[in-house]
Amino acid sequence: MIHFENVNKTYGKNVKAVRNLNLHIDRGEFVFVMGDSGSGKSTLIRLLLKEIDPTSGTITVDGDNISKIKRRKVPYYRRKFGVVFQDFRLLKDRNVYENVAFAQRVLGVSRSKIKQDVPRLLARVGLSAKYKALPNQLSGGEQQRVAIARALINHPDILLCDEPTGNLDANNAKEVMTLLDEINKEGTTVVVVTHSHEIVEQMGKRVIIMNRGDMIDDGIKNHAESDWFDDGQEGGDEA
């Protein structure tokens, strides 16, 4: 589904953010991307979203060479993705319902469809009772679940999560990671950028490690012994 072939990205004359990256992610995979600051993680996400173009190489998503997508078609291409950020990026003056509905309103979705879809997604993330609450009335974990609902409302094929537990305590991080795992099991491809070694170890998913623009490891981490998923409600830990 996602294929990087000999991809390089250089900023300026000699800042090599990504070097000769060859990477394939299948439809329905759950993949972690790890690495220190400056390793190329954020550049990889920006390349996928076509916020920037590679200096050389080919990126193919769902069979399309994205370098060939015309600028006016980029917003349509980006509908393949839902994006979740560390800092939630909710509209502070709008309640939970309106924050999720906003993602459909900008696409011109009918009011009746919005009224059908938003309650379904809020139930999916466990926030039906808080649909009238403003972001500042929610915990960090609740705000991130609103952000996940907003990212999913338009049925993306791929969910990109940039440090989704970075601002959360351990319990809220577990809830968010369990939710992402469930979403993946329903068929959505999930790519998570994280610094949390504990989350990676406990989840037992494929892990790509970046260092100074190079992919230095690509494999599966072993499940550690823990009660991570024992009650079906928790998974993960804070970075």
Question: What's this model's pTM, rounded to 2 decimal places?
Answer: 0.89
The CA–CA distances, whole Å, from 162 to 3, 21, 80, 87, 91 equal 19, 19, 16, 9, 18
pLDDT band of 222, cuts 50, 70, 90: low
SS3 at position 237:
coil
**Tens-place pLDDT, residues 73-119:** 999 999 999 999 999 999 999 999 999 999 999 999 999 999 999 99
- The mean pLDDT value for 41-62 works out to 96
Q: Is the pLDDT of residue 66 over 50?
A: yes
Q: How confident is the model at residue 234 (pLDDT cuts 50, 70, 90)?
A: very low
Distance set, CA 164 to CA 140, 144, 236 (Å): 11, 7, 11
Mean of the per-residue pLDDT values for the chain? 91
Reported as a single tens digit per residue, the pLDDT across 191-220 is 999 988 889 998 999 999 999 999 999 987
Which residue in the block uniquely carries the two structure tokens 């609740």? Answer: 142
pLDDT digits (tens, 9 = 90+) for 10-31: 998 888 999 999 999 999 999 9
pLDDT of 38: 87
Q: What's residue 233's pLDDT? A: 39
Residue 238 has pLDDT above 80, yes or no: no
Whether the pLDDT of residue 53 is over 70: the answer is yes
Mean pLDDT of 221-234: 46
Full set of structural domains in the chain with CATH: 2-220 (3.40.50.300)
Q: Is the pLDDT of residue 232 over 80?
A: no
Q: How far is CA 232 from CA 190, 227, 228, in A?
A: 19, 10, 8
The Cα-based distances of 91 to 31, 77, 120, 183 in angstroms read 29, 24, 20, 24
Q: What's the number of CA atoms in the CB half-sphere (13 Å) around residue 124?
A: 21
> Is the model's pLDDT at 9 over the cut of 50?
yes
